[in-house]
């Protein structure tokens, strides 16, 4: 697939078939992720691949409860109804969650992990898989309980929880704002 085509076609996928994702394919996505640029080439990322259904369900429930509690402090939180819905799965029933995190809190670790995440999402798209970055899971995964669930030490922090799976259907396109560009020329 041509790169620009993949960049334009990739969409966040929120409906997955239960079909498992091949381990070798997952490994190839991580190999693509680690080709990302990183500050001073420190490559501070680490990857946790969660395929265990019970753990995926636990992460979804705990993250939702965490977000529900956090949403109570905002008078009109836009996602409160979602967090109150017992049927809402934060991970959209995807068969795999890859959490890209960092072992060393370097100055640019978050940027580095986000670039790795974009590589992973584009490589997945090229392979016919769907992905979605799940910010709703990020806060709970960063708690001591969340880190323990992922087997991460206290000094690690999760940056990019990315769900992966076979899409049930092609998502609709999303609107894109015209870029705000200031040209500074001679």
Question: Which one, 74 or 154, has the nearer CB to ligand FMN?
Answer: 74
Binding mask 71-90 for ligand FMN (x = CB under 6 A): --------------------
Residue 27 neighbours by CB under 8 Å, 6+ apart: none
Closest approach of ligand FMN to the CB of residue 107, in Å: 19
Q: How many CB atoms lie within 10 A of CB 25?
A: 15
Size of the site for ligand FMN (CB under 6 A): 9
Our finding on whether 140 is near ligand FMN (CB under 6 A) is no
User: Which range binds ligand FMN by CB under 6 A, 20-28, 38-46, 94-102, 132-140?
Assistant: 132-140
Report the distance separating Cα 60 and Cα 55, nearest Å: 8
Our finding on whether 142 is near ligand FMN (CB under 6 A) is no
Question: Among 2, 165, 24, 1, which residue's Cα sits nearest to residue 95?
Answer: 165
Which pair of structure tokens corresponds to residue 115? Answer: 């670039």
Find the distance separating the first CA and the last CA of the chain, reported in whole Å. 38
Q: Which of 6, 9, 14, 142 binds ligand FMN (CB under 6 A)?
A: 14
Question: Which one, 153 or 173, has the nearer CB to ligand FMN?
Answer: 173
Binding mask 157-186 for ligand FMN (x = CB under 6 A): -----------------x------------
The per-type count for the chain, helices as H runs and strands as E runs, is: 7, 4
Question: Among 84, 78, 50, 48, which residue's Cα sits nearest to residue 64?
Answer: 84
Greatest Cα pair distance in the chain: 60
Our finding on whether 133 is near ligand FMN (CB under 6 A) is yes
Our finding on whether 134 is near ligand FMN (CB under 6 A) is yes
Our finding on whether 12 is near ligand FMN (CB under 6 A) is yes
Closest approach of ligand FMN to the CB of residue 7, in Å: 10
Report the distance separating Cα 34 and Cα 5, nearest Å: 22
Binding footprint of ligand FMN on the chain (CB under 6 A): 11-12, 14, 132-136, 174
């Amino acid at each position: 697939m041509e790169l620009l085509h993949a960049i334009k076609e990739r969409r966040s996928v929120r409906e997955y078939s239960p079909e498992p994702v091949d381990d070798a394919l997952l490994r190839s996505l991580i190999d693509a992720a680690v080709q990302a640029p990183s500050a001073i080439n420190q490559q501070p990322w680490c990857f946790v691949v969660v395929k265990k259904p019970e753990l995926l369900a636990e992460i979804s429930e705990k993250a939702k409860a965490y977000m529900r509690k956090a949403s109570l402090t905002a008078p009109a939180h836009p996602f409160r109804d979602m967090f109150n819905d017992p049927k809402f799965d934060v991970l959209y029933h995807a068969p795999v969650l890859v959490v890209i995190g960092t072992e060393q809190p370097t100055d640019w670790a978050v940027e580095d992990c986000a670039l790795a995440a974009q590589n992973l999402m584009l490589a997945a798209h090229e392979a016919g898989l769907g992905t979605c970055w799940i910010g709703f899971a990020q806060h709970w995964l960063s708690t001591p309980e969340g880190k323990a669930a992922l087997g991460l030490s206290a000094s690690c922090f999760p940056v990019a929880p990315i769900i992966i799976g076979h899409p049930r259907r092609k998502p609709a396109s999303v609107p894109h704002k015209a870029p705000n560009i200031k040209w500074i020329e001679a």
